[in-house]
């Protein structure tokens, strides 16, 4: 699938950009005594805007392809995703825990909860595990009308505000995008023939994204976050739900724009992807696993912040992290264990 081979590396690049600029959004501690930079806040915000939702969307897209190729029982799916998602999550979470979270006191229950929930950026893997199982079940249940399923999937983000452990609550938010990916894959022939040959439509959706994202980001930052801090559980819960659906609106418009533009480019140019693009696509999972380790070390365990200063730090973070993540993935895949874990 050439469209996925293009979109997936874009997602990985946006992820590295986001984590490189996250210090200016308050997600990580600021190295040294750096001051906030407003432009860098927006760079981080834009790179994160629909990047994770797009990741989940293409996961659903690829999953629908795998179901088309061969029937999977629930047991086969469970075994496959335990190996593909949970095993790498546990292995890298253990490393992340002892490198960045361990404070000298070891509590076995806290350790197990952290590892099973995914330490650091590994949270995405158990979340995707639950999303895949949930959407498989929804897809396989034939006795429920599709319109009922649609309403149910659209309402799942409401439940994501509940404190359900092991990233299950987060999975309820992202299930919508996974199911959408499955649906678009199954309707791709119609969509590509009727919509992907119209670049103006993609540009229109890009405009919708810009308007909804800027308005939504400011609305969440300046208004909703105030109510999220409220002591009333009703006000806090309602604010969180509104926040989720504002994010869904601009994420859907962003996904639509990227999907249409990517397929327009492929169809109009009638291209065959270069081998390096295909190879880069194949190592994206390894890049994802390594990138945050590298950035954390660069920001907090080297003299790089004091040498380059606040303005150059995130840009060098992107460049160095991208190169080292690619290198570590290629080297790791030379061993049998590395190939087993990284795929």
CB 241 within 8 A of CB 250: no
Give the end of a domain, one of 245, 272, 299.
272
Overall number of domains in the chain: 2
CB 21 within 8 A of CB 47: yes
Give the end of a domain, one of 250, 272, 294.
272
Does one domain contain both 151 and 224? no
Does one domain contain both 164 and 144? yes
Does one domain contain both 178 and 207? no
Does one domain contain both 241 and 144? no
Does one domain contain both 36 and 153? yes
Closest CA to 168 of 119, 116, 228: 116
Give the end of a domain, one of 272, 293, 316.
272
CB 125 within 8 A of CB 289: no
Does one domain contain both 138 and 221? no
Does one domain contain both 268 and 283? no
CB 212 within 8 A of CB 252: no
Does one domain contain both 128 and 264? no
pLDDT of residue 153: 94
Average pLDDT, 10 consecutive residues per value, the chain (343 residues): 90 96 92 89 91 96 92 93 96 97 91 96 97 95 89 92 92 96 92 82 83 75 62 75 86 90 81 79 95 97 94 96 96 92 87
Does one domain contain both 88 and 99? yes
The range of the structural domain enclosing residue 133 comes to 2-186+273-342
C-alpha distances in Å from residue 62, one per residue of 46, 55, 184? 25, 11, 11
Does one domain contain both 295 and 223? no
**Strand ranges inside the chain, DSSP E:** none
Does one domain contain both 56 and 181? yes
Does one domain contain both 257 and 299? no
Taking each helix axis from N to C end, the angle separating 124-140 and 87-96, rounded to the nearest 10 degrees, works out to 160
């Amino acid at each position: 699938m050439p469209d996925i081979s293009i979109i997936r590396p874009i997602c990985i690049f946006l992820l590295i950009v986001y984590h490189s600029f996250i210090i200016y959004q308050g997600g990580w501690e600021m190295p040294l005594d750096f001051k906030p930079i407003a432009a860098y806040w927006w760079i981080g915000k834009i790179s994160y805007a629909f990047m994770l939702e797009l990741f989940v969307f293409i996961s659903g897209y690829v999953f629908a392809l795998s179901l088309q190729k061969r029937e999977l029982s629930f047991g086969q799916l469970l075994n496959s995703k335990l190996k593909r998602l949970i095993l790498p999550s546990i292995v890298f979470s253990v490393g992340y825990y002892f490198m960045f979270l361990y404070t000298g006191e070891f509590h076995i229950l806290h350790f197990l909860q952290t590892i099973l929930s995914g330490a650091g950026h590994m949270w995405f893997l158990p979340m995707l595990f639950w999303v895949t199982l949930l959407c498989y079940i929804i897809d396989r249940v034939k006795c429920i009308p599709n319109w009922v399923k649609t309403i149910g999937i659209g309402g799942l983000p409401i439940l994501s505000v509940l404190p359900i452990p092991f990233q299950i609550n987060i999975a309820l938010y992202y299930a919508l995008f996974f199911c959408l990916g499955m649906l678009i894959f199954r309707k791709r022939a119609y969509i590509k023939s009727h919509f992907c040959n119209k670049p103006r439509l993609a540009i229109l959706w890009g405009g919708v994204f810009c308007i909804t994202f800027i308005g939504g980001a400011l609305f969440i930052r300046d208004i909703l976050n105030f109510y999220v801090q409220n002591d009333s559980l009703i006000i806090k819960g309602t604010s969180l739900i509104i926040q989720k659906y504002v994010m869904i609106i601009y994420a859907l418009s962003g996904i639509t724009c990227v999907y249409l533009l990517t397929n327009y480019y492929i169809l109009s140019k009638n291209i065959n992807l270069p081998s390096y693009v295909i190879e880069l696509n194949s190592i994206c999972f390894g890049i994802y696993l390594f990138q945050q380790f590298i950035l954390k070390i660069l920001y907090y365990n080297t003299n790089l912040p004091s040498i380059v200063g606040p303005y150059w730090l995130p840009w060098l973070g992107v460049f160095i992290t991208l190169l080292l993540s690619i290198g570590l993935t290629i080297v790791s895949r030379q061993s049998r264990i590395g190939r087993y874990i990284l795929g």
